[in-house]
Amino acid sequence: MVQDATELYREFGDERLPPGQRETDDFPVLSKGGTPSWTPETWSFDVWGAVEDECSYDLDEFRALPATTQRQDFHCVTGWSTFDCEFTGVTFPTLAAEAGVRDDATHVLFHALDGYTTDLPLSECLRDEVLFAYRLDGDPLPEPHGGPLRVVTPHKYAYKGAKWVDGVEFLTETERGYWERRGYSASANPWEEERYG
């Protein structure tokens, strides 16, 4: 069953295509550097910080978590948007419940294999559309798009969705991620054109 999350824009604006964006037919790849290498045997995903139970998953354990498939739109801050991407993965609230978020947690920092990080307030992550995705359009997530695991954030510019994500840190105060330290917006709402911070 594919859930349709493409109506999410109604919470933020009248138009599905956010202002200043153009729709592309393909799904471009955009990375700060190259695609990092990893091996299935040693890959692990860690949850730590302001949680009750710090936990660690290998690939099989992660894929055994309850999953959902959603049709979502994808908005890059550089101006392109791709509609109707079908992602399969674990929702952020599901993962947060596994670890048990502590009362003093306020922010989240995502970590990735290429050294990338990105931050969001916890409240902006606790939405079913925020997915740890390992499949795209029915296939394993291609490595250039972040395989084996990436985050997608359809309510935000796509730099909030870490490709090759290998860890989530729950924080008690805000901490800037890779692009956020370089002048991009911490809040990144596409319908408000929050491109720069």
9 vs 159, beta carbon nearer Mo ion: 159
CB of 50 to ligand MTE, least distance (A): 23
CA dihedral 11, 110, 163, 156 (to 10 degrees): 20
Q: Does 182 bind ligand MTE (CB under 6 A)?
A: no
76 vs 171, beta carbon nearer ligand MTE: 76
Q: Does 10 bind ligand MTE (CB under 6 A)?
A: no
Residue 101 interface partner, choices ligand MTE, Mo ion, none, CB cut-off 5-8 Å depending on type: none
Interacting residue with ligand MTE among 6, 13, 24, 31 (CB under 6 A): 31
Q: Does 186 bind ligand MTE (CB under 6 A)?
A: no
- Tell me if residue 49 falls in helix, strand or coil: strand
CB of 190 to ligand MTE, least distance (A): 11
Q: Which residues, other chains included, contact 133 with Cβ-Cβ below 8 Å and sequence gap of 6+?
A: 87, 88, 89, 141, 146, 149, 150, 151, 152
- Give CA 129 to chain center in angstroms: 9
**Secondary structure letter of residue 154 according to DSSP:** T
In the complex, the residues that contact Mo ion under the rule CB under 5 A are 76-77, 158-159
Please give the C-alpha separations between residue 190 and each of 15, 156, 162, in angstroms, as whole numbers. Answer: 11, 6, 17
30 vs 97, beta carbon nearer ligand MTE: 30
